[in-house]
A and B are shown apart, each in its own frame.
Chain A
Amino acid sequence: MSLSQFIPFLPEIFLAVAGFAILLAGISLGKRGARGLSLLSLGSLAVTAILIWVVGRPVEGAHTILGGMLFVDTFAVYFKLLTMTASGIVLLMSAGYLERSDYSPGEFDALILFATLGMMIMASGANLVSLYVGLELMALSQYVLVGYFKLELKSNEGAVKYFVLGALSSGVLVYGISLLYGALGTLDLGAIRAALTASDTVNWTLNLGIILVGFGMLFKVAAVPFHVWTPDAYEGAPTPVTAFISVGPKAAAFAMFLRLFLGAFHPELAQWRIVMWIAAAATVIYGNIAALTQDNVKRMLAYSSIAHAGYALIGIVAGTAMGLWSVMVYMLIYTFMNLGAFGFVIMLETRGYAGERVGDYAGLAKRHPGAAAGMLIFMLSLAGIPPTAGFMGKLYVFSSAVQAGYIWLVVIAVVMSAVSLYYYFRIVVEMYLKDGDEDEPAPLVRDRWLDAMIGLCVFVTLFLGVYPAPVVGLAQSGVHALGLG
């Protein structure tokens, strides 16, 4: 193995080194320097992105590096850039938040970078082992991040729950992988696909393996019935961490999901589709219904993110090229709108856990019309109302399912998105239609970086709502990588 083989792997190597450097820098800085470290981390993400562009650019066809461990293709680049953007936005959003907290920023930023590294490997893994390593790197960083506010009880509770259930799901995933290896004798995705295409007999060990891997993935994307960790982890985690785990890891998990189920396991589509159908329907129904009664905004957004995982699963059920790129587009749109909504929660959150109750939003439009308008756009987008990006995302996913003949699943999904209006608009009702407590109004954190990031999310949400064509083109170029149409 020559050294030149590592050149396409340079972005990941660089990011790992940068992560350690920031960890060390953070130790020497202590609790100071949150903004500087954020910028530094953002800079290393930017350098990584440039490196991806320079060395990691895909060649024709499916191309693997490091002895078949990682793909270098447009699909991987799409998700790498998406997760890195999410991490970058979170880093800038969290700088001021960490400044106001009692906790040091060094480990926080480094953990975000390590999680990003894990997500990049998940997006490009060509072997079940490399995928699993990426997943675990991401997950371990997340467990720590959720429990980052170590003196807060809720933060600890969320982290422990997340860790125990996450470890269990990883076990299930590995068990599924071992069954697959037992049945096929290979862990390479390309070889698995070839073997599945070649065999036409039903192999129950194999199917069980696929289903167990599917369960592991459903856990990672927070789909019903593997969602129970979500509300507690989301509520307990520091809000920037909640923002992070609701988008980046979810996008990366969907990248792995797509790579496995629409790539390697695609020949067995008829076998696993029913499982995904049920999971998608249950997720959409449960997520939206459970969100209705939440008074805590973070918990509500947790259930909403469960529901959105359900919408994205519909594209996987479709199992077509359109299903694939529609999920890719959906993840991008979801990333921006959800980050924006959480950015807004950060804005309202003062020390402790104030600003999380729906009632805290009362009369906000009167006092802060700009901020309220931003939140309105995110709520509209999450509910899927034109002309916002959320509507376009749903349109593509639903179209793919209708095209594949899954009309009743789409009917369930659209009815549930009408239900979702109620809870998203509870916030709008508070902001616009109710009068707040004028004597003691909830304070609003003014942080330019946060404002800028929310502004960016508003812009993307509106722009993609009016003109989604370029992103779709980008996603469509990733379809060939998985060998679909």
Chain B
Amino acid sequence: MHIEHLLTFVTLGPAAGALILAFIPGRLEKVQRWAALLISLAEFALSCLLWANFNPDIAGFQLQTAKVPWIPQLGISYHLGIDGISLLLVMLTTLLMPVVIIASWRSISEHVKAFHISLLMLTTAMLGAFVSLDVFLFYVFWELMLIPMYFIIGVWGGPRRIYAAVKFFIYTMVGSVLMLVGILYLAYSNHLQTHVWSFAYSDLLKAGRQLQMGHSFFTSPQMLVFAAFALAFAIKVPMFPFHTWLPDAHTEAPTGGSIILAGVLLKLGTYGFLRYNRPMFPDAWHAFVPLILVLAVIGILYGAWVALVQPDMKKLVAYSSVSHLGFVMLGLAAGTIASTEGAVLQMVNHGLSTGALFLLVGVIYERRHTRMIADYGGIARVVPVYTGLFLLVTLSSIGLPGLNGFVGEFLILAGTWRRYPVAVIFAALGLIFGAIYMLWMVQRVFWNPFTHEENKSLKDINLREVLAVAPLVIFIVWIGVHPTTFLSPMEAAVRSLLMH
């Protein structure tokens, strides 16, 4: 295999796997599960090859595929490449896929084949969005994510799944269609200057930077195009006040769906801000920084407060995502090297710890079929191993030093402090609230007096579930103890992004 095909294999591999899966007869559910698992493990192995071949000293895109014309009339081509930032997110995606498949081993019992096909298609779409070097190709992958996720929520979800699926779909779609207009406008301005149609990232980057700023929002092309992109990403992140789809989608999605949603899908929003909004529209970005800061801080505090009063564990974790993603946006908006590196690392961290939290909530839900905090209490005695794991992940989520969350949040806050100390003060309050709502939940679930007799027969976490959560825990500790492994590959890329 030639190295320039590696990214193609990584990106389209899951789709090819989905095609293989489609030919396995419907009743062989075990074969389907194993096939999907093997495909996702092979994916992870391939992405480790990416890591091995990645040169951290290069700031630009590397391991690029050949540029293949796709829609020649508009200068659209198939072109993939990776830098330190997308590398980390690709690794996160491929790591989470086997986790999701193992976690869904028992809980998904209907339409097993369709579930895994959706999952694999979703993987291709997410990976494609991270590694596309053609903005149009990025948009296609971006849209492609919607359909499998819609089905994952809508078919295998909870009681209000249809409402949640439709809401998710319409929200994200409204955001992304305006982005399409923005992309077309960028390509058009590029065409005006060069008289060549192109949607290449590098060309549109130049076109975006040269857009006029104008005097007011509505007469400023750069601000408008910025807003078209920002709306799509802000809904995906989700930033306050575009977050209302998230609690519904998270709560209704099956465990596997929630893990992907929190782990990867939301990261596409923050990744979009970093990859597109920030370098493409630097002037508009600076004009919008105060707004983004304010919304990020509101998101941090609001998410935390709402999480505090949730009676449902899964909903609590969902709102905690709003809060955590607020930190990421804060780091991006501050725009220092430390805060941006922290934000990228925090994207990975949130994927790991929130993914693990959803997984663990799913574990107990499968046993008791309730996620209400009030239905538990004092179960630490009954399920000690589970309690230990849950506590570890909780501590990672609230940023205990030595675990991953601390590194990311510290970098974000320290990096932001130099420019926006007031925002840091408010955000730090969010940290405290984060500790309160998580630990309070842990206390009520695991330590309070044992009130529910039916919890006596709860079985502790089994080997399969430990295997599912183990990779996440390994990385939680690894990043916490030795973050340099993960910070060094992205350093050059972050520096070059912030130069402009």
Residue ranges of A at the interface with B (Cβ–Cβ < 8 Å): 380, 385-387, 391-392, 395-396, 398-399, 402-403, 407, 410-411, 414-415, 417-418, 421-422, 425, 429, 432-434, 467-469, 472-473, 476
Query: Which of B73, B165, B177 contacts A476 (CB under 8 A)?
Result: B73
> Which residues of B in the span 126-156 have a Cβ within 8 Å of any Cβ on A?
139-140, 143-144, 146-147, 151, 154-155
B73, B139, B162: residue with the most chain A Cβ atoms closer than 10 Å: B73
Beta-carbon contact of B185 and A421 below 8 Å: no
Beta-carbon contact of A433 and B155 below 8 Å: yes
Bound-state CA distance A476–B74 (Å) is 13
Residues of B within 8 A of A468 (CB): 71
**How many interface residues does B have (CB within 8 Å)?**
31
Query: Which of A385, A396, A398, A421 contacts B181 (CB under 8 A)?
Result: A398
Residues of A within 8 A of B144 (CB): 386-387
Q: Smallest CB–CB gap between B33 and chain A, Å? A: 19
Residue ranges of B at the interface with A (Cβ–Cβ < 8 Å): 70-74, 139-140, 143-144, 146-147, 151, 154-155, 161-162, 165-166, 169-170, 173-174, 177-178, 180-181, 184-185, 187-188, 191
Residues of A within 8 A of B173 (CB): 418, 421
Beta-carbon contact of A417 and B162 below 8 Å: no
Beta-carbon contact of A399 and B184 below 8 Å: yes
Q: Given A418-B173, A421-B170, A472-B73, are A385 and B191 also a contact pair (CB < 8 Å)?
A: no
Bound-state CA distance A392–B73 (Å) is 12
Using CB atoms, name the residue of chain A closest to B140: A386
Residues of B within 8 A of A422 (CB): 166, 170
Using CB atoms, name the residue of chain A closest to B161: A433
> Chain A at the B interface: mostly helix, strand, loop or mixed?
helix
Known: A410-B181, A432-B155, A467-B70. 4 other contacts (CB 8 A): A399-B74, A403-B188, A410-B184, A421-B170
Bound-state CA distance A351–B429 (Å) is 67
Bound-state CA distance A402–B169 (Å) is 26
Beta-carbon contact of B169 and A421 below 8 Å: yes
Q: Smallest CB–CB gap between A172 and chain B, Å? A: 35
The number of inter-chain residue pairs (CB within 8 angstroms) is 80
> Chain B at the A interface: mostly helix, strand, loop or mixed?
helix
Residues of A within 8 A of B178 (CB): 411, 414-415
Bound-state CA distance A414–B478 (Å) is 45
Bound-state CA distance A395–B188 (Å) is 13
Q: Smallest CB–CB gap between A389 and chain B, Å? A: 12
Using CB atoms, name the residue of chain B closest to A404: B188
Residues of A within 8 A of B181 (CB): 398, 402, 407, 410-411, 414
Residues of A within 8 A of B74 (CB): 395-396, 399
Residues of A within 8 A of B146 (CB): 385
Beta-carbon contact of B162 and A380 below 8 Å: no
Beta-carbon contact of B174 and A418 below 8 Å: yes
Beta-carbon contact of B161 and A415 below 8 Å: no
Q: Given A414-B178, A417-B177, are A429 and B184 also a contact pair (CB < 8 Å)?
A: no
Q: Smallest CB–CB gap between A466 and chain B, Å? A: 9
Beta-carbon contact of B162 and A386 below 8 Å: no
Q: Smallest CB–CB gap between A45 and chain B, Å? A: 30
Beta-carbon contact of A398 and B188 below 8 Å: no
Residues of B within 8 A of A429 (CB): 154, 162, 165-166
Query: Which of A399, A403, A415 contacts B174 (CB under 8 A)?
Result: A415
Bound-state CA distance A432–B180 (Å) is 28
